[in-house]
């Protein structure tokens, strides 16, 4: 548990370390992660802290990251050389543990997995991964369906949708993809196919309307974010353009005990944002 004073200290140190657009994005991710955690029954404090600090090592140059990754991570040489944009996630546990020794393994793991994810994801890992993509400052054209699905589908399904959107974005932008990402993708496809209904289930209709009202359509919509900061100019980085949104309260909703007969299942999300929803 990180108390308010320590969180404030972390916030200030992050602000001093990264550029303003990165800081704004980090605040957005922290608040989005906290909201997602509340909805999906994950530890909110861990989510807020992991979201805040997830890009801690984005302050480093690729040269510094390569050196750090070589010494303190198992990232393969080819990835260090060719996909340095992902290294900050892998070096972060080492860097952050030195700065904030009280950070738990769970928080550090969620931070480590926020960029490339993994075949097995803890709930906190998924919350931080999703928050990084759907925080209000994100301006991708295809995040709207993800935001709308918050509280409507299970955490696993929302993660699957988000991971898929990330893969599509990387391909469409002609970016190299971490080789382990294909292993992760295949694992999640298999897991999803094996799940009941083929889509990880979903939250009940009642929970869905409450939760999406509070989070999906208010806190996590781009419209809710105050004015934009300058885009991040770091090589390979995407633009995070919003200042921190105001926190809003939302009801608790448990996505784990869905009645499949009432469940709305998002079957597919297309790059243009169109999606197919089936009511089962």
Ligand X SMILES: Nc1ncnc2c1ncn2[C@@H]1O[C@H](COP(=O)(O)OP(=O)(O)O)[C@@H](O)[C@H]1O
In the complex with ligand X, the residue whose CB is nearer, 147 or 208, is: 147
CB of 134 to ligand X, least distance (A): 12
Q: Which is nearer to ligand X, 10 or 86 (CB)?
A: 86
Min. distance of Cβ 8 from ligand X in angstroms? Answer: 23
| Rg of the chain on CA atoms, in Å | 18
- Residue number with CB closer to ligand X (176 or 248): 176
| In the complex, minimum distance from the CB of residue 121 to ligand X, in angstroms, rounded to a whole number | 14
Instruction: Choose between 147 and 201: whose C-beta lies nearer to ligand X.
Output: 147
Whether 233 and 244 have beta carbons less than 8 Å apart is answered as: no
Least Cβ distance, residue 252 to ligand X (angstroms):
28
- Work out how close the CB of 98 gets to ligand X at its nearest, in angstroms, rounded to a whole number: 20
Q: 17 vs 5, 14, 40, 91, CA distance in Å?
A: 18, 5, 31, 16
| Exposure string over 12-33, b if 16+ CB within 10 A, otherwise e | eebeebbbebbbbbbbbbbbbb
**Do the Cβ atoms of 234 and 59 come closer than 8 Å?**
no
- Whichever of 7 and 169 has its CB closer to ligand X, that residue is 169
Q: Residue-wise over 152-165: b if at least 16 C-beta within 10 A, else e?
A: bbbbbbbbbbbbbb
Q: How far is the CB of 1 from ligand X (least distance, A)?
A: 26
**Residues at the interface with ligand X (CB under 6 A):** 83, 85-86, 89, 115-116, 132, 166, 170, 175-178, 181, 236-238
Integer angstrom CA distances of residue 264 from 109, 151, 249: 31, 11, 24
Would you say 45 or 238 has its CB closer to ligand X? Answer: 238
């Amino acid at each position: 548990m990180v108390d308010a004073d320590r969180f404030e200290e972390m916030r200030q140190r992050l602000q001093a370390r990264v550029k303003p657009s990165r800081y704004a994005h980090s605040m957005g991710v922290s608040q989005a992660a906290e909201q997602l955690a509340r909805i999906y029954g994950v530890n909110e404090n861990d989510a807020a802290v992991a979201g805040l600090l997830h890009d801690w090592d984005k302050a480093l140059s690729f040269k510094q990251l390569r050196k750090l990754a070589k010494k303190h991570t198992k990232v393969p040489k080819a990835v260090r050389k060719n996909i340095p944009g992902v290294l900050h996630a892998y070096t972060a546990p080492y860097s952050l543990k030195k700065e904030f020794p009280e950070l738990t393994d769970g928080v550090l793991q969620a931070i480590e997995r926020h960029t490339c994810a993994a075949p097995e994801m803890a709930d906190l890992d998924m919350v931080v991964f999703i928050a990084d993509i759907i925080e209000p400052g994100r301006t991708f054209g295809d995040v709207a369906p993800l935001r709308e699905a918050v509280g409507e589908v299970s955490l696993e399904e929302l993660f699957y949708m988000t991971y898929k959107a990330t893969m599509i974005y990387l391909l469409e932008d002609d970016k190299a993809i971490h080789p382990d990402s294909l292993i992760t993708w295949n694992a999640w496809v298999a897991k999803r196919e094996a799940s009941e209904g083929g889509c990880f289930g979903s939250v009940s209709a009642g929970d869905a309307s409450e939760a999406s009202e509070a989070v999906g359509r208010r806190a996590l919509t781009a419209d809710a974010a105050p004015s934009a900061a300058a885009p991040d100019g770091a090589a390979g980085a995407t633009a995070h353009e919003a200042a921190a949104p105001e926190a809003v309260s939302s009801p608790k909703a448990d996505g784990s005990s869905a009645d499949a007969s009432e469940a709305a299942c998002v079957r597919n999300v297309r790059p243009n944002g169109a999606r197919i929803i089936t009511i089962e």
